[in-house]
């Protein structure tokens, strides 16, 4: 998979749910944040965007085999994850910037 110049590879065991993700070191923080987005949110987002219907959402979130809705679902989910990660990274950077400003103000006092 490659999105926004973030290359990664995932190896998953469908039976026990374990996965391994390989990613470039400088992109690890972004991928770590992206992995925190629950699949339920991706399914709900795809439903709201009209990519899947309620029955397909239930199938994706339920047990058993389901026909995957395809590339549109992947595209909209990748964009949704990207939006969330970018917002979190911006929030973290702003928090760090404020912390640095507070340290500077303490030095002045």
Q: What is the pLDDT of residue 38?
A: 87
Give residue limits of the domains in the chain: 2-108
* Predicted confidence (pLDDT) per residue in 36-46, tens digit: 888 899 889 99
pTM of the model: 0.57
* Predicted confidence (pLDDT) per residue in 66-91, tens digit: 566 677 777 788 888 888 888 988 98
What element of type H or E holds 10? strand 6-12
Which residue bears the tokens 């912390």?
99
Separation of alpha carbons 38 and 100, rounded Å: 32
């Amino acid at each position: 998979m490659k999105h926004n110049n973030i290359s990664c590879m995932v190896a998953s065991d469908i039976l026990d749910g374990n996965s391994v993700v390989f990613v470039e070191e400088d992109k690890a923080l972004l991928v770590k944040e992206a992995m925190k987005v629950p699949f339920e949110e991706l399914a709900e987002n795809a439903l709201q965007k009209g990519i899947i219907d309620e029955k397909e959402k239930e199938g994706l979130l339920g047990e058993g085999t389901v026909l995957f809705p395809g590339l549109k679902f992947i595209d909209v989910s990748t964009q949704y994850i990207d939006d969330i990660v970018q917002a979190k990274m911006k929030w973290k950077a702003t928090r760090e910037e404020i912390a640095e400003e507070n340290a500077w103000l303490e030095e002045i006092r």
